[in-house]
Structure 1
Amino acid sequence: MLSSEERRQLSAIEAWIAADDPAFAAGLAAGRPRPPRRDRRWPLQMVVALATGLAMFSLVAGQPVGLMLGSVLACAAAVADQLRARRRHGTPGVSRRVNRGAADA
């Protein structure tokens, strides 16, 4: 059983979700949630796939310009996709781990 404070917090979360993405909130209420609208990454992933296909086709066809163009486009779209996901979900960048045990020895 939830306490009154937990029920109040849950109601606030429900209201925030309903205001932010009504279709997602309706899907949750109906028991069939769909992905939040800003979490759909398929356009950039499609660019990565098509650019990779262009690079592979150009490699087989012996066209260095197409190979370079496809490779650059695929890399740029992949980086943009990762940056978008990090911004959206608040994931921090890669950080270096410091081995403190080696410094103390």
Structure 2
Amino acid sequence: MLDLALSQEQENQIQQLMQDHFPEDWEIDSALWTRRAVQQLIEHVCDVQMPIRTVGEYLKWWGYTPQKPLKRAYEQDPEAVEKWLEQIYPEIEQRAQAERAEITGRNA
């Protein structure tokens, strides 16, 4: 159903879900709550198809602001990265194999 407004109850529900969950918990292909991810959450939970601009207005009303990614690559410690790749991650990987667990989210 195409709609442009949420009830106060729906607004509260969406905000609570955003605080308590990650998009992937709702099978939304996003690491963060972007406008598109919130749009999909609203459609899934409230059965409301909302334009992306309206989703942005709701986020603004709720006190969310657009965030730009921090450029931290310049501050990265090459020695710490090396240690992670050569020692720490392989230990995690071995432990996961021993427990028959699966590690997800690593780019292969």
TM-score with structure 1 setting the length: 0.24
Q: Which has the higher helix share?
A: 1
Decide which structure has the larger Cα Rg and report it.
Answer: 1
> Which fold has the larger relative contact order, with Cα–Cα distance below 8 Å and residues 6 or more apart in sequence?
2
